[in-house]
Amino acid sequence: MHVESYYHQIQTVFTTQANPKNASAMRSYMRDQFDFLGIKTPLRRALIKDLAKVDFHLTDLERLVRALWLLPQREYQYVAIDLLATHKKSLGLSQLGLLLSLAQDKSWWDSVDGLASVTNDILFASRAQESQLQMDKAAKHPNIWVRRIAMIHQLGWRLETDQTRLFGYAQELAHEEDFFIRKAIGWALRDYARWQPEAVGEFVDAHRSQLSNLSVREALKHF
């Protein structure tokens, strides 16, 4: 099946499953920032699963993801993220630019954290100096959502976490007042604290005057 046919099949199936009542509630939950068809996650994923299986070349996958991202209803961005996650083993460092670009369009925590999860998988598979240098740049990016991805890109890496970078990013972003950055700092520290609680505790104690109360509270949540 050509990527264009698959794209149109998704739209056709989703349109027939639209639920205005759900759409209103979902739009309200997202602070009326996005339109919705009203298709909840379990049904959305089931509908995609029921479509014909397609083995995408990377160029076709990227085209499809970009096309879905342009559609106004939020479910299509969720499908794009799910497709990226499904094909994550085929993705590499060359796709990081696409992921960070998408994070800057129709941006909110739901799409950004989904893209961050795919980014996490790509970087963990690589764990190369080149990939980490890209995250160093992302931590300084003018877009807040790119910086959030940099802050949380090591979630779940356990003892493979680059502690120097984790603490360095936390210090670098600690001055920011945005809720989502402060939350990301605390989230990343809390996750690492599962494996190195003493190191995180010492870091928080040493930099408590720099870190926001939210970041500290999140970081020490399970202490």
pLDDT of residue 126: 85
pLDDT of residue 1: 61
Locate the domains of the chain by residue range: 1-90, 116-223
Confidence of residue 149 (pLDDT cuts 50, 70, 90): very high
pLDDT tens-digit profile of 35-82? 999 999 999 999 999 887 777 899 999 999 999 999 999 999 999 999
pLDDT of residue 147: 98
Long-range contacts of 45-53 (CB under 8 A, 24+ apart): 45/82, 47/13, 47/14, 47/17, 48/10, 48/79, 48/82, 50/13, 51/6, 51/9, 51/10, 51/13, 52/1, 52/6, 52/9
The letter for the amino acid at 37 is L
Confidence of residue 2 (pLDDT cuts 50, 70, 90): confident
Domain 116-223 class in CATH: mainly alpha
Average pLDDT, the chain: 96
- Architecture of 1-90 per CATH? Alpha Horseshoe (1.25)
pLDDT of residue 223: 87
Percent of the residues in the chain that have a pLDDT greater than 90, as a whole number: 91
pLDDT of residue 129: 74
pLDDT tens-digit profile of 179-188? 999 999 999 9
pLDDT of residue 91: 94
Matching fold, domains 1-90 and 116-223: yes
Element of type H or E holding 203: helix 197-207
State the Cα–Cα distance between residues 50 and 134, nearest whole angstrom. Answer: 37
pLDDT of residue 117: 98
pTM to 2 decimals?
A: 0.95
User: Residue 212 above 70 pLDDT?
Assistant: yes
Q: Tokens at residue 24, please? A: 């209103």
pLDDT tens-digit profile of 89-107? 999 999 999 999 999 999 9
pLDDT tens-digit profile of 93-148? 999 999 999 999 999 999 999 999 999 999 999 877 778 899 999 999 999 999 99
